[in-house]
Amino acid sequence: MSEPIAAVVVRAAELTARGLPQRAVELLRPALAANPLHAEAWCRLAAAHLDAGEPDPALEAAKRALVLPGDQSWAQRLTSLALGELGRHAEALVAARECVRREPGDWRCLVVLAEALAGAGELREAVEVARGATGLAPTEARAHQVLGDAALRVRDWGTAERAYRTALRLDPGADDVRANLATARRKRGGPAPAPVAVHALVQPVLSRLAALLVAGGLVLLLAALPRPTPLLGWFAAALVAGCVAVVARLLVRDGVRRALPPLLRRRPLTAAVAVLFGLAVLVLAGWSVALLLGATTTQPLVLAWLCSLVGGAVVVLRGR
């Protein structure tokens, strides 16, 4: 019985690829009635329903596949897509995260997770996850399209334009991508991104700086007891370089440098955190140089760590 159902699954996949999902559904239904334990056929049926714009039966079929032995990541992807189509974004996100947990190296799982994150309003993480998908599958147009969609929603016009251009080069017939590329180009030539959109990019940078400076400063404080050595100067310099790299990655984004001053004027708390972290980095840099020249004091390190701790506390509390 396994050979006939396998042949049906192959024919259903061909029909779906030709734009005939309803015929694939009609082919799979009777086959599954006779072979209800074939997980791949249930997944193929769910995919056909999704292509036909029928999320309810797609979800039902995907759930049937989930309780059977087989490709669980495919079933989780289909479940997440169906839930997203039904507007159940929180559940879609849970299914997508489970898919990535099972297959962290599968770019398709990352694409589904990026779409679920965007549907749930987690736009910053959606961009990063989609970027990871393009890294795993640089020749897949779908991965670049999802990155462009996520970047478009956070008003990162440059990233969106580059992603859409790549997607079009890989799949020149994608008219929706062409339209979104035109939108990204038009927006990129317009005014700078709004401060709220830039804040969506600044916030994760502040979180990373807080983690680096607080954790790194604590390690340096412990290592400096009872007396710091010149070797610690190199570690402090490496910490400073890491912080500079995090900030530089933000500043190279299109429009960010123009939008940062109005953002800091409108959000004094963000500006205060940026000043604290900047002071911490400057003091750390000076202390590392002093250590390499023979100094043995830890007072600058304590000052830098306290600035980092206060700034980090503000970042955590503001995030909550």
Give me the pLDDT at residue 193, please.
46
223 and 283 fall within a common domain: yes
Its domain, for residue 80, covers: 2-188
113 and 54 fall within a common domain: yes
9 and 113 fall within a common domain: yes
182 and 201 fall within a common domain: no
Token pair 């700086």 is at which residue?
209
In tens, the pLDDT along 60-111 reads 999 998 888 877 889 999 999 999 999 999 999 999 999 999 898 899 999 9
* Tokens read off for 56: 């309810």
3-state secondary structure the chain: CHHHHHHHHHHHHHHHHCCCHHHHHHHHHHHHHHCCCCHHHHHHHHHHHHHCCCHHHHHHHHHHHHCCCCCHHHHHHHHHHHHHHCCCHHHHHHHHHHHHHHCCCCHHHHHHHHHHHHHCCCHHHHHHHHHHHHHHCCCCHHHHHHHHHHHHHCCCHHHHHHHHHHHHHHCCCCHHHHHHHHHHHHHHCCCCCCHHHHHHHHHHHHHHHHHHHHHHHHHHHHHCCCCCCHHHHHHHHHHHHHHHHHHHHHHCCCCHHHHHHHHHHHCHHHHHHHHHHHHHHHHHHHHHHHHHCCCCCCHHHHHHHHHHHHHHHHHHHHHC
Of 163, 188, 213, the domain-final residue = 188
Average pLDDT over residues 3-20: 85
210 and 244 fall within a common domain: yes
Of 188, 211, 234, the domain-final residue = 188
Nearest to 143, CA basis, from 121, 120, 174, 119:
174
170 and 77 fall within a common domain: yes
CATH code at 63?
1.25.40.10
67 and 124 fall within a common domain: yes
26 and 78 fall within a common domain: yes
In tens, the pLDDT along 14-47 reads 988 888 999 999 999 998 888 889 998 999 999 9
Q: Which pTM value belongs to this model?
A: 0.57
HSE (side-chain half, CA atoms, 13 Å) at 269:
11
Of 188, 217, 236, the domain-final residue = 188
Contact 256, 198 (CB under 8 A): yes
241 and 304 fall within a common domain: yes
d(CA 219, CA 45): 54
Number of structural domains in the chain: 2
217 and 306 fall within a common domain: yes
211 and 137 fall within a common domain: no
Give me the pLDDT at residue 276, please.
93
269 and 147 fall within a common domain: no
